[in-house]
Amino acid sequence: MERRVVVTGLGAITPIGNTVDEFWKGIKEGKCGVDKITAFDTTDFKVKLAAEVKNYVPEDYFDRRGVKRLEKFSQFAIIAAREAMNDSGITKENTNMDRVGVIISTGIGGLNTIENETKVLMEKGPDRVSPMYIPMSIGNMAAGNVSIELGARGESFGTVTACASSTHSIGEAYRLIKHGYQDAVIAGGAESGITPTGVAGFTNMKALSQSSDRLRASIPFDKERSGFVIAEGAGVIILEDYEHAKNRGAKIYAEIVGYGASSDAYHITSPAPGGEGGARAMVSAMEDAGISKEDLDYINAHGTSTHLNDAFETSAIKTALGDVANKVMVSSTKGNTGHMLGAAGAIEAIVCIKAILDSFVPPTIGYKVPDEECDLDVVPNEGRNVSIRYAMSNSLGFGGHNSSVIIKKFEE
């Protein structure tokens, strides 16, 4: 028998707030987290802007050993997971921790450590490379460190599908619970790729905006968009079997009811023409949820602010929803957060959950110049107080990875 899957905990550290409440307040106020890069000297770089986590002091969260041995993306993952777990109320007293899984993803992993230790190798030789180099930099350590931190002994792994990673994490967690393999899963993503090689690499492949105006750099669906703004942070949600949550008296935020995924099998960076792969993922998610296209109230789009993504995602939504596409509200919150890469999907799932709870559709901020290629209702600049029953979160990743999850207002 398939089980219902509900959300019982939320955690976040983002460029517009270092807790879920701060983050959501920033979304509702239309706050933009894009600003000048402080992580390194950008004198020789064409890109000067990013969306960094503000006022982040590792020592506020970790002891000396943790600060030294945890790469930044793992730190972010642990911080968000702690908040989500505390929020959920799951403890070893009320839950069998052998049946609590962890699926925390990252698109890139420990670039900071890779850069630093490569420099040590070149300048000081192989004997000086840190023995912590590998366990700090490999991408599975977001999940591994969270599992160790929280004592979750169920299935633990990370999906690596570029910017679709954490939506895949949520979808796979949903399936593990739905089919009875786990009672709860700590799911999400973390990223810390604002480094010299990260910024240089994305810049040279023409993916990043080179705008000097922080308010006109990450502008999804705007005709003047010129690339995405790289961001960092983490988002984590606790998914749980409904009966398990009910039996322990947990508060329930929302229900995950659908998941769809697909591959473009087309190109390493460009979406398939017309966004046909993304459309298949959306249709699969709706079929899994058992809903019609008319039931969908809101889509949090991948909406990266690149020309190809926004145009092809618009086409994908039209293909998936047909004649109701123009009736569904579609916004991108990357104008607020920048593009958090492997953490984006988890953060945007939190946006959908909070939107349902508050009956508030967040706007696409920074929108000025309409684009005939992106002619959906993108909720420009001003949020709307509207009741939402079904919301969809889309994520698309380099390599042709597409994933969509459908979140429903919780009803007994």
Active-site amino acid positions: 163, 302, 339
Q: What are phi and psi of 122, to 5 degrees?
A: -70, -35
CA-based torsion, 162, 262, 317, 29: positive or negative = negative
The DSSP secondary structure of 4-59, one letter per residue, reads -EEEEEEEEEBTTBSSHHHHHHHHHTT----EE--SS--TT-S--EEBPPTT--GG
Q: φ, ψ for residue 374 (rounded to 5)?
A: -125, 70
User: Cα–Cα distance between 331 and 312 in angstroms, integer?
Assistant: 15
What distance in Å separates the CA atoms of residue 205 and residue 224, rounded to the nearest whole number?
19
Are 60 and 115 a contacting pair, CB within 8 Å?
no
- Pairing state between β 5-13 and 254-263: antiparallel
Of 151, 150, 189, 190, which is closest to residue 173 (Cα–Cα)?
Answer: 189
The tokens of 53 are what? 């986590």
Residue 256 tokens read as 């995950």
Interstrand relation of 233-241 and 5-13 (parallel, antiparallel or unpaired): antiparallel
Q: What gap in Å lies between CA 65 and CA 26, rounded to an integer?
A: 32
Tokens 């630093």 belong to residue = 116
- Give, for 11, the enclosing helix (H) or strand (E): strand 5-13
DSSP assigned state of 302: -
* Integer Cα distance of 115 and 19 in angstroms: 29
Distance in angstroms (rounded) separating the CA atoms of residues 227 and 213: 13
Helix axes 141-150, 72-88, angle to 10 degrees: 40
